[in-house]
Amino acid sequence: MADQALSSLKLLECGGGVSAPCCAKLFADLGAEVIKIEEPGTGDFTRTEGPFPGDVPDPEKSGLFLYLNGNKLGITLNLRSARGRSILQALAQKADILVENLAPREAEELGLTYAALEPINPALIVASITPYGFTGPYRDYKGYPLNAFHASGTGFRVGQPEREPLTMPCAQSSYAGGISAAAAIMTAVFARGVNGGLGQQVDVSEMEAEVCFFGSTITGFLAASDEMAVRPRMGHRLSALNASMRCKDGYVHLIATSADWWQRLGQVMGGPDWSQDPFFQDPANREKLADELEALLEPWLMERTREELFQLGVANRIPITPYYTTEEVARLPHLKEREFFVDIEHPAAGMLRYPGAPYKLSETPWAMVRPAPLLGQHNEEIYCGRLGYTREQLASLRTLGII
């Protein structure tokens, strides 16, 4: 394997679900060695959650697990046993980074903090990704991605007025936390250069990541009471139009918030009277009458297909895009030409097509080198090859339920 951007880094991953695995995967995909530590017997809980081929549950065939854990080495280790913890310390001694997403109290109990691991490896960077963070009154509160997303104030803005607020699908706040942690960890890697080689604790909260992602949209409110910023859900549009709209064969998203887009949209539609109405030239008025405006647009949209509207949008530089399903995304010629999707053969799940790289690096390409590990697949390689255990010792660790 050619030298990749992060080939020099070694990372340990503890926990499960989406946040820590997605964070560690970003490192693995750029060449870092990632050892994923799973609980003996059960493993990462996403193994039980699917989706599964043919909807038949099988811990080696969970789609979410396979997607989030490619390029990693997988070992099992019982961190609740004293022996397990001492093995973890031996692994941490040789690592640059440990990323975990256990509840803060549990991470502290298991010694998965910088404070606990500093005596063993002062250069180690320990990153925790939790729903609410390692400090503050909610620190020990329970949270799933749904809760973190809504605790951030972001969820309140999604959905229709009068109805319940909505959530972004697929555990988005965990991705927000995971990707934020990856960037934070890389900064901590640079920081070792100014800290005389020392690592540190990095604390990332999913709630706070979402707050900061959207914090700039409420700054007007922070400056003083601003009606626009506090209006809930679909009413929060910065200015109309910015909405999902029905057309002949489905839905498109149309944005005509700027003066340019508004004018071009009017031109493309053949300049109906209302598009020339001085009243509607003011974005604030467009926002006030967003529903009426959408009704005026509807007949024109209903005569056109999503693709026709998409092409009109591209040709006239107006953001109009179809709402594509995952199937349509999977078949998009643009993504084929860019070789976005990657085909990976997995020993249990077989050949499947996975989403690929979020970015293309010219010198050190993102690469899918190995499929997600089977549970404990690399126990021998790591325990015998790296830590010097004999096969007999490995067998007895297994019998004791430590690996």
Partner 1 sequence: MRLDQQQYPLAGIRVVDFGWVWAVPFMTQLLGDMGAEIIKVESHARLDSTRTQKPAPGRPAHPDWSTRFHAYHRNKKSITLNMATPRAIELVKRLIRVSDVVTDNFTPHVLENWGIDYAAISKIKPDIIMASLSSAGQWGPLRNLTTFAPALGAISGLETMVGYYGERPLGSTLAYMDPVAGTYGAFAVLAALSYRERTGRGQFIDMSQMEACITLIGEAMMDYAMNGRVWGAQGNRQRGMAPHNLYRCKGDDQWISIAVKSEEEWRSLCSAMGNPQWTQDPTFADQLSRWEHQDALDQHINRWTQGYGSYELMDMLQRAGVAAMPSLTTAQEVQDPHLLARGTWVQVDHPTLAGEIVYGNHWKFSRNPGGIYRHAPLLGEHNQYVLGDLLGISTDEIKALEEERVLY
Site for partner 1 in 232-291 (CB under 8 A): 232, 234, 236-238, 242-244, 246, 251-255, 258
- Judged by CB under 8 A, the residue of 98, 112, 171, 247 near partner 1 is 171
Contact 71, 365 (CB under 8 A): no
When the beta carbons of 219 and 276 are compared against partner 1, the nearer one is: 219
The stretch among 52-60, 268-276, 375-383, 394-402 that binds partner 1 (CB under 8 A) is 52-60
Taking the complex as a whole, the smallest distance from the CB of residue 334 to partner 1 amounts, in Å, to 4
Taking the complex as a whole, the smallest distance from the CB of residue 197 to partner 1 amounts, in Å, to 12
Instruction: Report how far Cα 117 is from the mean position of its chain's Cα atoms.
Output: 27
Taking the complex as a whole, the smallest distance from the CB of residue 41 to partner 1 amounts, in Å, to 17
When the beta carbons of 22 and 403 are compared against partner 1, the nearer one is: 22
Rg (CA), the chain: 25
Instruction: Report how far Cα 197 is from the mean position of its chain's Cα atoms.
Output: 30
Q: Which two tokens stand for residue 71?
A: 């390029």
Count of residues engaged in binding partner 1, rule: CB under 8 A: 154
The stretch among 101-109, 217-225, 269-277, 375-383 that binds partner 1 (CB under 8 A) is 217-225
Single out the residue of 222, 81, 221, 213 nearest to residue 154, CA to CA. Answer: 213
- Judged by CB under 8 A, the residue of 90, 110, 120, 189 near partner 1 is 189
* Length of the chain measured in residues: 403
Segment (H or E) for 65: helix 63-68
| C-alpha–C-alpha distance, residues 397 and 312, integer Å | 65
When the beta carbons of 84 and 133 are compared against partner 1, the nearer one is: 133
- Asked whether position 50 contacts partner 1 by CB under 8 A, the answer is yes
- Judged by CB under 8 A, the residue of 41, 221, 292, 390 near partner 1 is 221
Q: Which two tokens stand for residue 230?
A: 């506090």
- Judged by CB under 8 A, the residue of 119, 137, 270, 299 near partner 1 is 137
Count Cβ atoms within 10 A of the Cβ of residue 95 and give its class: 0-12 exposed, 13-18 middle, 19 or more buried.
Answer: buried
Q: How many CB atoms lie within 10 A of CB 248?
A: 14
* Residues numbered 12-41 forming contacts with partner 1, rule: CB under 8 A: 26, 30
- Judged by CB under 8 A, the residue of 12, 34, 37, 68 near partner 1 is 68
When the beta carbons of 93 and 325 are compared against partner 1, the nearer one is: 325
Q: How many CB atoms lie within 10 A of CB 107?
A: 22
CA distances from 131 to 67, 144, 325, 345 (A): 22, 7, 29, 34
When the beta carbons of 85 and 233 are compared against partner 1, the nearer one is: 233
Q: Which two tokens stand for residue 22?
A: 């997605």
Taking the complex as a whole, the smallest distance from the CB of residue 155 to partner 1 amounts, in Å, to 5
| C-alpha–C-alpha distance, residues 144 and 206, integer Å | 10
When the beta carbons of 209 and 382 are compared against partner 1, the nearer one is: 209
When the beta carbons of 291 and 381 are compared against partner 1, the nearer one is: 291
